[in-house]
Amino acid sequence: MPPRRRSILITGATSGIGRALARIYAAPGFHLALTGRNQERLDAIRTECRESGADVTSASVDVRDRDKMAAWIRSVDDIRPIDLAIASAGITSGLGLGRSREDPEAVRAVFAINLIGVLNSIEPLIERMCARGSGQIAIVGSIAALRGLPYAPAYCAAKAAVHAYAESLRGTLVPQGVTVSLIVPGFVATALNKDMLTPKPLQMSDWRAARIIRRGLDRGASVIPFPRTLYYGAQLLRFLPIRWVDFMLGLAHVDIPETRERAVE
């Protein structure tokens, strides 16, 4: 039987989880709309996905550019109505040796990419999917959203906002036929966390993460957490006395490089 034709938008497709998802969906019968900023890596993944038999549209766009994102996403949707949008683009930033305060410009960059960038990636599709009475929106959050960590205030806060947003959106959109899936990864070996000095319990490859995500998306899961042990462990922290948890988290030797991204007007 021929595969069901699907049109899939993936942000952050030039690296890590987004790129692994592009690879996993690249097959005949699929149309992939891929975006990221690095043109060379975008061209490379586009070629690779085409060689695997997918139709591919790509554009180098900064997720912070609301107008450009909306124009590109709508132009793709006009021709190949998108039935799955995955907002994966994101950065990390944090504290560590000799750095006990986040640079306000870095903080704003984290929020602009990890929160506003997600809105810019999915807002252009919400009304259209609702009008069609079908579609799926997937947002990449993080286990770091479940409990504020002393070494990554902006990252944890932006991801927590995205979690609450996805949860709220689900309540509104599901009755209109649109599925909302929140993806909650633990440690995945990608460029994002390669320079972080921290224990990375149960870290997995981007390929394995993409397989888990696809399985979850295929069954329309509301939340796709992995690895589950780490996810439930992090949930448990909420039930322990705050001072204990703060103390325990403070014992870990963690150094998360500060992002080089800065706020843009």
Contact residues: ligand NAP, CB under 6 A:
12-18, 36-38, 41, 62-64, 88-91, 113, 117, 140, 142, 185, 187-188, 190-193
**Mutual orientation of helices 104-111 and 153-173 as an angle, nearest 10°?**
20
Task: Quote the least distance from Cβ 77 to ligand NAP, whole Å.
Answer: 18
Distance CA 74, CA 126 (A): 11
Task: Quote the least distance from Cβ 182 to ligand NAP, whole Å.
Answer: 11
* 82 versus 139: smaller Cβ distance to ligand NAP: 139
Task: Quote the least distance from Cβ 165 to ligand NAP, whole Å.
Answer: 13
The number of C-alpha atoms within 13 Å of 23 and in the hemisphere containing its C-beta is 16
Residue whose entry in the numeric block shows the structure tokens 């992995």: 226
Residue whose entry in the numeric block shows the structure tokens 């504020």: 148
* 29 versus 155: smaller Cβ distance to ligand NAP: 155
* 4 versus 194: smaller Cβ distance to ligand NAP: 194
Q: Which amino acid is at 38?
A: N
Answer yes or no: are the C-beta atoms of 146 and 236 closer than 8 Å.
no
Q: Which amino acid is at 92?
A: T
Question: Where do runs of H (alpha helix) occur along 185-226?
Answer: 191-194, 206-218
* 34 versus 129: smaller Cβ distance to ligand NAP: 34
Neighbours of 68 (CB within 10 A): 15
> What distance lies between CA 237 and its chain's CA centroid?
23
Task: Quote the least distance from Cβ 87 to ligand NAP, whole Å.
Answer: 8
Give the single-character DSSP code of 80. S
* 18 versus 227: smaller Cβ distance to ligand NAP: 18
* 129 versus 234: smaller Cβ distance to ligand NAP: 234
Task: Quote the least distance from Cβ 190 to ligand NAP, whole Å.
Answer: 3
Task: Quote the least distance from Cβ 3 to ligand NAP, whole Å.
Answer: 25
Sheet harboring 30-36: ordered strands across?
A: 55-60, 30-36, 6-11, 84-87, 136-140, 179-185, 223-226
Residue whose entry in the numeric block shows the structure tokens 């990636």: 121
Task: Quote the least distance from Cβ 193 to ligand NAP, whole Å.
Answer: 4
* 82 versus 154: smaller Cβ distance to ligand NAP: 154
